[in-house]
Amino acid sequence: MSAALREPAPAKLNVCLFLGPPRDRDGRHELVTVFQPLTLADRVSLEPAPLGATADELSCPGVPGPPAENLAARAVSAFRGRAGWDGPAIRLRIDKRIPVAAGMGGGSADAGAALRLAARAAGVEDEALLREVAATLGADVPGQLRPRRYLATGAGEELHALPDPPPYGVLVLPAETELSTAEVYRQADLMGLPRPQAELPERAAAVAAHGADLPDELVVNDLEPAARALCPAIDDALRAARDAGADRVMVCGSGPTVVGLFRRVEAARAAAVALAGRHPRPLVAEPWPARTAEAVR
């Protein structure tokens, strides 16, 4: 490897999220959700480390915390161990566009991109190995390894490919504060939000039947009340998106990001202009199509 390798890392929108009880074996909650990657994406690159370096390096401007705790750095380390790759030290760089700790899967997206890059650098084409490593990093990472629209069950690691949705616009309203995913799940448990386990197969079947375009009654995020309880500013963002004309409004994943879904992309762009005075500034995205996802293989 003599030049930098690059991969996009698209954000994830949970178009629906039905929350079940925690599992006995690992404490993760059972879910029925749809992962929809978006054109809002980080940029991840991998290149040789500087001459003389003996350890992998990470550069992620704007994101605090020790590099060793970054999920993308952990992905490269886990890949080295599992694949037995002892290639020269590398430098991983992440240029962030996805809001941090925002419920949009940015860390998982970066980890998925890092695994693709490490596999390319090592010349490894073992898809089963990559999925095995991804599963050890977190429930969201397998769905970000090969980004496309999925129905996800289990704790999010059981993936069933769905067809692309019709074009639509996504108004993204980031928050000034961050929310811990684990804290939101704990709050959901305290509020009694998880559904009975027996209800989840019916929800999964309904989602699978509609696939590309869910009706309003399935565009539900069971974590939303918990996120709103922990971050009251979410209510203002929900109102702003609704007042801007969004056809559907919801908290993204565990929050605190709010999204407004528009049937026309142009309407989402107009809403972003109308809300340009907000801080952080609004963003606009569209669904990341499966044909684009094939390009990251």
Q: Give tens-digit pLDDT for 246-268.
A: 999 999 999 999 999 999 999 99
Same domain membership, residue 279 and residue 132: no
pLDDT of 63 higher than 50: yes
pLDDT of 100 higher than 80: yes
Same domain membership, residue 149 and residue 241: no
295 domain residue, yes or no: no
297 domain residue, yes or no: no
Question: Which is the catalytic residue, given 42, 56, 110, 140?
Answer: 140
Under DSSP, the state recorded for 287 is B
135 domain residue, yes or no: yes
Quick check: is 42 catalytic? Answer: no
pLDDT of 293 higher than 70: no
Q: Give tens-digit pLDDT for 107-145.
A: 999 999 999 999 999 999 999 999 999 999 988 999 999
Same domain membership, residue 21 and residue 145: yes
Same domain membership, residue 189 and residue 106: no
Helix (H, G, I), strand (E, B) or coil at 41: strand
CB 108 within 8 Å of CB 12: yes
Q: What percent of the chain has pLDDT over 70?
A: 97
Q: What pLDDT, on the 0 to 100 scale, is given for residue 159? A: 96
Phi, psi of 249 (to 5 degrees): -130, 135
Phi, psi of 55 (to 5 degrees): -130, 150
Q: What pLDDT, on the 0 to 100 scale, is given for residue 101? A: 82
Same domain membership, residue 177 and residue 89: no
Same domain membership, residue 211 and residue 262: yes
* Final residue before a domain boundary, out of 107, 133, 163: 163
Domain CATH code at residue 234: 3.30.70.890
Q: What percent of the chain has pLDDT over 90?
A: 88
Same domain membership, residue 31 and residue 137: yes
188 domain residue, yes or no: yes
The neighbour count for residue 156, using CB atoms within 10 Å, is 25
Nearest to 256 by CA among 101, 113, 105, 123: 101
Paired with 151 in beta bridges are 34, 160
CB 171 within 8 Å of CB 38: no
Q: What pLDDT, on the 0 to 100 scale, is given for residue 68? A: 72
Q: State which residues form the domain around 122.
A: 5-163
Phi, psi of 22 (to 5 degrees): -70, 150
Domain CATH code at residue 102: 3.30.230.10
Q: Which two tokens stand for residue 2?
A: 């003599």
d(CA 272, CA 278): 9
38 domain residue, yes or no: yes
Helix (H, G, I), strand (E, B) or coil at 200: helix
Same domain membership, residue 218 and residue 159: no
Question: Which is the catalytic residue, given 12, 42, 56, 110?
Answer: 12
Quick check: is 12 catalytic? Answer: yes
23 domain residue, yes or no: yes
Same domain membership, residue 150 and residue 176: no
H or E element that contains 104? none
Q: Give tens-digit pLDDT for 163-178.
A: 999 999 999 999 999 8
* Final residue before a domain boundary, out of 141, 163, 185: 163
**Half-sphere exposure for 258 (CA within 13 Å, toward CB):** 30
* Final residue before a domain boundary, out of 135, 163, 191: 163
296 domain residue, yes or no: no
Q: Give tens-digit pLDDT for 175-223.
A: 999 899 999 999 999 999 999 999 999 999 999 999 999 999 999 999 9
Same domain membership, residue 192 and residue 117: no
User: What percent of the chain is helix, strand and coil (3-state, nearest 5)?
Assistant: 35, 25, 40
The number of folded domains in the chain is 2
Same domain membership, residue 152 and residue 64: yes
Nearest to 248 by CA among 208, 212, 218: 218
pLDDT of 297 higher than 60: no
Helix (H, G, I), strand (E, B) or coil at 288: coil
Nearest to 179 by CA among 284, 75, 99: 99
Q: What pLDDT, on the 0 to 100 scale, is given for residue 238? A: 98
pLDDT of 295 higher than 50: no
Same domain membership, residue 230 and residue 214: yes
